[in-house]
């Protein structure tokens, strides 16, 4: 017989796991399907903003996150070693490796619903049926009253639902690596707004720090090459022996044409790919999850377009977040001459008292 469930979530990344926890906590019959048999070791996302922490607390893992994370209490902008602006956060941004956050969420989901997470279950097809959505994996079939795609930027769910994937901005290249933190600023994010492009660094647990360098194209460098990039651009000496393996990535901005179609809804990176500069993509997905869990509690999935209100509201928020990310990217672009001086003056003005609360709110995701 075909198994039937209230909600099936495809993808057990940080957003899919959080949504699973929120629904299980409400007593929803939820299943989370993940193609990978073992948890990912990737640590790309590290920032947990105050609204994201509130969503994690709603799932019951807030205290564990706070205990393990490092607080980032402010940010300082520099250019050629000179101070040009600073912000202090009334509520800190927390820094914790993504794989550790996922482990805490997975343990919580296991406690709430021991059989909800099914690893090694690769979805191969979906189709609408009279009473929901049929999902085929390599080993079984099931029917969900609602199917949620939390399966990332290359979402199979989004593709098979026929939902468009729209470009919001051009891609920009970066390279990143983690190193021992010898900056003397263990609670401060540092933004080196250099003529050649931004160099950012963020505290990590274990007295480490993540360094991110804008390159404007995908580059491959070894540890010595990465250390040289940071030294040449930001004037900071990193010990290559303390560096993790550098990795390059493209900062992209993409958005789904709609966040829901029929009984299929999208959350997180399946719905929007937000530039990681500013660290808001994962948190935006958590806010999607919290909004969708609330919608499940108050919506009959059998009506026409049950998730239309969710889709419209969250897409508006995603567009707003992408505009903020566009501003962040522009502030970190390579500049020279009068444009560089103008950008640095703008940073000084925006970090001054009249604008400080607005800028702090933008960096800590207030209003999203």
- CATH number at 40 reads 3.50.50.60
- Over residues 185-214, the mean pLDDT reads 96
Which tens digit of pLDDT belongs to each residue from 169-196? Answer: 889 999 999 999 999 999 999 999 999 9
- The answer to whether 344 and 335 have CB atoms below 8 angstroms apart is no
Question: Across all residues in the chain, what is the average pLDDT?
Answer: 94
Do 153 and 37 sit in the same domain of this protein?
A: yes
pLDDT band with cut points at 50, 70 and 90 for residue 85: very high
Per the structure, how many domains does the chain have? Answer: 2
Most confident of 40-49, 112-121, 130-139: 112-121
Look up the domain containing 88 and give its range.
Answer: 73-92+169-251+342-363
On whether residue 309 sits in a domain, the answer given is: yes
304 pLDDT tier (thresholds 50, 70, 90):
confident
pLDDT for the residue 278: 64
Mean of the pLDDT values across residues 329-337? 93
Position 218 confidence tier, pLDDT thresholds 50, 70, 90: confident
Residue 93 has pLDDT above 90, yes or no: yes
Answer yes or no: is 112 within a domain: yes
In this structure, are 314 and 273 located in the same domain?
yes
117 and 233 together in one domain: no
| pLDDT (average), residues 206-214 | 96
Of the listed ranges 260-264, 319-323, 355-359, the least confidently predicted one is 355-359
- Domain-located, residue 368: no
In a domain, 334, yes or no: no
Give burial (CB, 10 Å; 0-12/13-18/19+) of 70. Answer: buried
pLDDT band, very low/low/confident/very high, at 132 (cuts 50, 70, 90): very high
pLDDT (0 to 100) of residue 366:
77
Is 163 in the same domain as 181?
A: no
Please indicate, yes or no, if residue 335 is contained in any of the structural domains: no
Residues 48 and 129 in one domain: yes
Q: Are residues 41 and 59 in the same domain?
A: yes
Residue 52 shares a structural domain with residue 198: no
pLDDT at 223 over 70: yes
**Domain contains 286:** yes
Are both 234 and 129 inside the same structural domain?
A: no
pTM of the model: 0.94
Structural domain includes residue 355: yes
| Across 94-119, average pLDDT | 97
Nearest to 159 by CA among 192, 123, 193: 123
18/116 same-domain check:
yes
Domain identity same for 194 and 264: no
CATH number of residue 196's parent domain: 3.30.9.10
How far is the C-alpha of 359 from the C-alpha of 264, rounded, in Å? 36
The pLDDT of 139-151, averaged and rounded, is 96
The pLDDT tens digits for 13-37 are 999 999 999 999 999 999 999 999 9
- Nearest residue to 84 (alpha-carbon basis) of 361, 356, 344: 344
The answer on pLDDT for 162 being more than 80 is yes
Same domain, 34 and 156: yes
Closest C-alpha to 104, from 19, 10, 17 = 17
Residue 254 forms beta bridges with which residues?
167, 273
Count Cβ atoms within 10 A of the Cβ of residue 276 and give its class: 0-12 exposed, 13-18 middle, 19 or more buried.
buried
| 271, 316: one domain | yes
Query: Predicted confidence band at 359 (pLDDT cuts at 50, 70, 90)?
Result: confident
For 286-310, what is the mean pLDDT?
94
Q: Is the pLDDT of residue 146 over 80?
A: yes
Q: Where are the beta strands (DSSP E) in the chain?
A: 3-10, 30-34, 47-48, 70-79, 82-95, 117-119, 123-129, 132-137, 141-149, 165-180, 188-194, 197-204, 208-214, 247-256, 260-261, 264-266, 272-273
């Amino acid at each position: 017989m075909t198994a039937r469930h209230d909600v099936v979530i495809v993808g057990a990344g940080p957003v899919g796991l959080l949504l699973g926890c929120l629904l299980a906590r409400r007593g929803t019959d939820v299943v989370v399907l993940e193609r990978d048999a073992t948890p990912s070791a990737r640590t790309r996302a590290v920032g947990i903003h105050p609204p994201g922490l509130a969503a994690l607390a709603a799932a019951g893992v807030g205290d564990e996150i706070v205990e393990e994370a490092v607080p980032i209490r402010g940010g300082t902008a520099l250019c050629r070693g000179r101070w040009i602006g600073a912000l202090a956060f009334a509520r800190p941004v927390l820094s914790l490796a993504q794989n550790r956050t996922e482990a805490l969420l997975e343990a919580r989901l296991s406690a709430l619903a021991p059989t909800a997470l099914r690893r090694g279950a690769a979805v191969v097809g979906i189709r609408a049926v009279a009473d929901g959505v049929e999902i085929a994996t390599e080993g079984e079939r099931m029917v969900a009253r609602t199917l949620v795609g939390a399966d990332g930027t290359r979402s199979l769910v989004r593709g098979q639902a026929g939902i468009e994937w729209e470009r919001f901005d051009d891609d920009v290249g970066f390279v990143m690596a983690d190193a021992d933190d010898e900056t003397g600023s263990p609670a401060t994010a540092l933004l080196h707004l250099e003529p050649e492009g931004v160099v950012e660094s963020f505290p990590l647990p274990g007295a480490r720090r993540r360094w991110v360098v804008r390159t404007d194209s995908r580059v491959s460098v070894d540890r010595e090459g990465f250390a040289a990039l940071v030294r040449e651009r930001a004037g900071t000496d990193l010990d290559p022996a303390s560096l993790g393996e550098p990795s390059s990535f493209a900062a992209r901005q993409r958005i789904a044409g709609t966040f829901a179609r029929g009984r299929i809804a999208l959350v997180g990176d399946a719905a929007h790919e937000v530039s990681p500069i500013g660290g808001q993509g994962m948190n935006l997905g958590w806010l999607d999850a919290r909004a969708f869990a609330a919608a499940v509690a108050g919506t009959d999935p059998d009506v026409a377009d049950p998730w239309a209100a969710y889709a419209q509201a969250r897409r508006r928020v995603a567009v707003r977040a992408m505009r903020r990310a566009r501003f962040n990217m522009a502030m970190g672009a390579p500049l020279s001459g009068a444009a560089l001086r103008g950008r640095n003056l703008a940073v000084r003005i925006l970090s001054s008292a009249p604008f400080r609360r607005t800028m702090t709110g933008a960096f800590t995701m207030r209003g999203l």
